[in-house]
Amino acid sequence: MGASRRAARSRRAAGLISLALSSLSSQVHAEEPAPPRSPELLALFRAADEAMAQADVGGARAIWGRIHLLQPTNPALCQLGQLDRRLERWVTAAGELSKCIERMPAPQDARERGLHEARHADFAAARQHVGELELSPPPGAERVLVAGKDVDVRHKVYVPPGEHEITAMGPQGLFARARVKIEAGETLNLPLTYEVAPPAPAPEPAPAPAPKAPPAPRPHDAPAVNGPVPGKPPPAPRPPPAPRPPPPSAGQTGPSPWIVGTGAFVAASLVGTGIGLHVAASDASQEATRLRGEIKDSEQDAIQTGLADAYEQAIDVHERANRLHTWSFDVLMAGAAVGAATVVYLSLPRNAEIRAHTGGASVRVVW
């Protein structure tokens, strides 16, 4: 009796999921213009339907991951969120369904309203198992990590309940760090600020020396006599004081070797780092291409056993390659800017006078 009930529940669940997924073609047309579908994509759509007909949710999730990797669309992202929710991958499902709901257009008829309600219900179910972080990084933050993983602060960040460490990295070694504890279903708004080292205590001023009293005159001391003393030659005249050297100039004439050396070193370091990041990005792109090829060659195995981890790894490698390309471009541009500034500084005439002040620096050239 128990086995028959479980089988009936499984058949009903598979029927509901198959019914939700069978309308994918119409969903794509309703939500956004459908791009051209290749024969490979059409075969994957059929394979996903077959997997759901057999109640193979894991296999369907792997196939939809392949579809979204080949042709990223919002309907495919929504399907991934709904399948991850049924697989109880709560953090992944919450992130996917949150982006899915943000991008959905307003419903136009009863069928689209039903689709919206189903996705909102799935998101609400996943939301009860995760915590939500709304992060406000400090100005100029280059990376934000939650539990050691990069996150996109433009979207809400979902984490499992418990304690998590958040780190924001800024320029010139600045960083902000916070540790929070969050419960399932809870939302935390967390502004981050850079940590500043405490100032060194000011030295205590030395006590002023006590004034010395003039010595008391002794009774046997003779009074001072003005003028020459009889019987003694007059003292030799003192030589005139040596002229004082002129005060040093407040500015610096000509290029400073220290500034030139520092500029050249910083420019070379940035360019070298940018080249290293570019090489790493190229390696990551090749790795993503290799993973795609392996997934494509193993398409039938993915349908039967599921390669969700392989698809997720391929997506992660692809995103890492994009981030590394962006970082390498930024670092190379910074190195080029420092190098150009150093060349301009070297090209100043020899009689150029550079003055530093609180508002920056000024250059004065005399012809």
More confident of the two residues 192 and 35: 192
Residue that wins the pLDDT comparison between 265 and 202: 265
Least confident piece of the model among 37-46, 225-234, 277-286: 225-234
- The answer, yes or no, to whether residue 35 has pLDDT greater than 70, is no
256-315: per-residue pLDDT in tens?
777 778 878 877 887 788 788 778 878 878 887 777 777 666 655 544 445 566 677 778
Q: What is the pTM of this model?
A: 0.45
3-state secondary structure of 150: strand
pLDDT tens for each residue of 142-200: 889 998 888 888 888 999 999 999 999 988 888 898 999 999 999 988 888 888 755 55
Q: Alpha-carbon distance 345 to 340, whole Å?
A: 9
31 pLDDT above the threshold of 80: no
pLDDT score of 354 more than 90? no
pLDDT of residue 304: 45
Q: What is the mean pLDDT of the chain?
A: 75
Buried b vs exposed e over 164-180: b needs ≥16 C-beta within 10 Å?
Answer: bebbbbbeeebebeeeb
- What's the mean pLDDT in 126-140? 89
Per-residue confidence (pLDDT) for residue 26, from 0 to 100: 43
Measured in whole angstroms, how far is the alpha carbon of residue 65 from the centre of its chain? 26
Count other C-beta atoms under 10 Å from residue 222's C-beta: 5
Nearest to 159 by CA among 127, 124, 196: 127
pLDDT of residue 221: 54
- Taking CA atoms, 47 is separated from 265, 301, 308, 357, in Å, by 57, 11, 15, 71
pLDDT over 50 at 47, yes or no = yes
What is the structure's pLDDT at 340? 80
Q: Which of 160, 173, 104 is nearest to 127 (CA)?
A: 160
Mean pLDDT lowest for which of 25-29, 214-218, 277-281, 299-303?
A: 25-29
Q: Among 66-75, 183-192, 250-259, which is the least confidently predicted range?
A: 250-259
Strand segments, DSSP code E, in the chain are: 131-136, 143-146, 149-150, 157-159, 162-169, 175-182, 187-191, 252-253, 353-357, 360-364
The token pair at 124 is 């609400």
Structure tokens at 227: 């003028």
Q: Domain-by-domain residue ranges, the chain?
A: 2-127, 131-191, 253-364
Weakest mean pLDDT among 65-69, 168-172, 235-239, 359-363:
359-363
Note the pLDDT of residue 264: 81
Indicate whether 245 pLDDT > 90: no
CA 325/CA 121 separation, integer angstroms: 38
Cβ 119 vs Cβ 98: under 8 Å: no
pLDDT at residue 41 in the model = 85
Structure confidence at residue 319 (pLDDT)? 80
Most confident of the following: 199-213, 280-294, 339-353:
280-294
Flag whether pLDDT at 87 surpasses 60.
Answer: yes
Residue 270: CB atoms within 10 A of its CB come to 20
pLDDT of residue 303: 46
Q: What is the pLDDT of residue 288?
A: 75
Q: Across the beta sheet with 149-150, what order do the strands follow?
A: 149-150, 143-146, 162-169, 175-182
Q: Name the one residue in this structure whose structure tokens are 């001391």.
A: 221
**φ and ψ at residue 222, rounded to 5 degrees:** -80, 145
Q: Quote the pLDDT of residue 214.
A: 67
State the angle between helix axes of 57-70 and 74-86 in degrees (0 to 180), rounded to the nearest 10.
160
144: left (phi over 0), alpha (psi -120 to 50) or beta: beta
84 or 346: which leads in pLDDT: 84
- Determine the average pLDDT of the residues in 228-242: 64
What contacts 320, CB < 8 A, 6 or more positions away? 284
Percent of the chain with pLDDT over 70: 65
Q: How far apart are CA 78 and CA 226, in angstroms?
A: 110
Q: What percent of the chain is predicted at pLDDT more than 90?
A: 13
